[in-house]
A and B are shown apart, each in its own frame.
Chain A
Amino acid sequence: MSASPRLLVEGVHRSFGPTEVLRAIDLQVRAGEVLGLIGPNGGGKSTLILLMAGLLRPSQGRITVEGTLAVDLARKASGEIGLITPDPGLYPLLTGHENLRFFGELNGLSPSDVDDRARPWIETLGLEAALHTRTGTWSSGMRQKLSLVRARLCDPLVLLFDEPTANLDPIAADAVWRAVHGAAEAQIAVVVATHDLRAAETICDRVAFVQSEVRHLETLQGERAPPSPSRLLEVYRRCALEAP
């Protein structure tokens, strides 16, 4: 893990009209580190993720990625910030492969680059069989997995996960957590907003409780790892595989 912060949040406030959603947020994430954001619904986690992505402008304060304002990065559209949202953001009338090709080429990759970079992830996440069918017919878990593949296509400096396992079955959720872990291992700065405290405990290096402000910031002890597979998950996986 690098010493200097890659993502820096300094004194950030954000209001929507008269409503102050976030105030005095100070956070930093280093390359290879996973920061967890936990807190109640409406606490401002998703807003903070959008601010970090540069898709929202802070009312006060600043957010930088390697010294450049996140808003400027988003405006210049440099492709250095990867985002995974609860809604995977795919075109339902296009196939999985067409979606990947479209977003990959839009980010400056050649079609063969997209295929080469996506292949190992597609195999790992078990998407080969469905790849050439329209994503509108896919389950939410499969679409979320494809959005993970898309996020990893472009070697982002920062990966932001906003409730990535919402509505996912345990197998898909397990794959997502492994991908979060893999991103940190690849020296990407990772931020995960989640309600899954058990996963956050094992996968995050630090966890911030956000409810309008950072009420508690804790460095977690022990080696970071994907949530360990429970006995029931193995039973679940076996039953799912055996199902006709």
Chain B
Amino acid sequence: MKRIRLLATREVRELLRQPAMLLAITTLFLAIGGLVLTSAGILQLIALSEAARTGTESWLPIFGLQDASLDAVAGYTLAIGAFLLLSQYLGISGVLAGHTVLHDRQCHTLPFLLLAPITRSELLLGKVLGALALPTLLFVLGQAVVMGTLAALPLTANSSSVLPTNPAWWITTLLGAPIWAIAIGLKCAIISALARDVRTAQQSVWLIMFFATLIAGYLLVQQLPAGALTQLGVAALGATFACTALFVGAKVISRDLGR
């Protein structure tokens, strides 16, 4: 455990000393959060006036939203916002975890890590946890601020499944999403360790990340209305993927260490 902490702390320290990536992640979360809050705010302003609400709802069929109410549009906005925040967090996790191994390959530090008295599982877990610590903090903060603010709007009363008023939201934000981020991060780290060169590693990471974030994003956001138990199941599925990745990763990275 001490060695996992050592590896993770070093990752965090290096990430803090190269703040460009953190700035990019923060900007991304701010942009998504700002977009969702602005959209929901405008909808709330419209909802305050009955005339504006009726007028706007009469325009909705033009956008393919037959018989839709302003409340339903607010619901779509929230769902899209929640999915964007989550999928971006998962995507960032894959990139950062993959990059942490590539960084070791570029710095030629990987052989020295492989020769140190740590298991491959500890090595993978330490690097991935370190790479994800700060993005996870930013994600949880972003979710809390954006979704917490949205929960205060009267218009979102009918869309509470993606808001903190739903207990499943807490399970998703604090448990499910970080576990899936670790699972995706582990897969990307393993690929980066095994790929012959940096370009192949990056291309493979992008491919995995695209599909994995879509699937995990769907499970985590679309299943929120199904309740807390379902979200616990989704988190357990993510944990199973993470454990499998850890087990397989420890085996394949040991096969020919010097690659």
Contacts and interface: CB of A to CB of B under 8 A. Distances in A.
A171 to B, nearest CB: 23
Most buried by A among B6, B116, B119: B116
Interface of A: prevailing SS: loop
A92 B109 CA distance: 10
A79 B116 contact: yes
Contacts of B109: 89-91
Indicate the size class of the contact surface on chain A.
Answer: 20 to 34
Contacts of A83: 111-112, 115
Contact of A50 (B3, B107, B116, B258): B258
B29 to A, nearest CB: 24
A55 B258 CA distance: 5
Interface in B117-132: 117-119
A152 B7 CA distance: 21
A108 B6 CA distance: 11
Interface in A46-70: 50, 53-57
Interface in A80-116: 81-83, 85, 87-94, 98, 102-103, 105-108
Given A53-B115, A74-B114, A77-B118, A106 B108 contact: no
Given A56-B256, A57-B256, A74-B257, A106 B107 contact: no
Contacts of B119: 77
B114 A107 contact: no
Interface residues of B, number: 27
A75 interface: yes
Interface in B41-65: none
A55 B117 CA distance: 14
B215 to A, nearest CB: 33
A103 B117 CA distance: 10
A78 interface: yes
Given A91-B10, A93-B14, A55 B108 contact: no
B199 interface: no
A55 B111 contact: yes
Contact of A102 (B2, B10, B107, B110): B10
Interface in B28-45: none
Contacts of B6: 102, 105-106
A154 to B, nearest CB: 9
Main secondary structure of the interface of B (DSSP, over half): helix
Contacts of A105: 2, 6
Contacts of A56: 256-258
Contact of A92 (B107, B114, B115, B118): B107
B185 to A, nearest CB: 20
Contacts of A50: 111, 258
A136 to B, nearest CB: 9
Nearest to B15: A93
Contacts of B117: 76-79, 106-108
A56 B254 CA distance: 10
Given A54-B257, A134-B17, A150-B112, 17 more contacts: A55-B111, A57-B256, A74-B115, A75-B257, A77-B114, A87-B108, A88-B108, A93-B14, A93-B18, A98-B13, A102-B6, A103-B116, A105-B2, A105-B6, A106-B6, A106-B113, A107-B117
29 contacts: A54-B115, A55-B111, A55-B114, A55-B115, A56-B256, A74-B257, A75-B257, A76-B117, A77-B119, A78-B117, A81-B115, A82-B115, A83-B115, A85-B108, A89-B109, A90-B109, A91-B10, A91-B107, A91-B109, A93-B13, A93-B18, A94-B10, A94-B13, A103-B116, A105-B6, A106-B6, A106-B113, A107-B116, A108-B117
Interface of B: 2-3, 6-7, 10, 13-14, 17-18, 107-119, 254-258
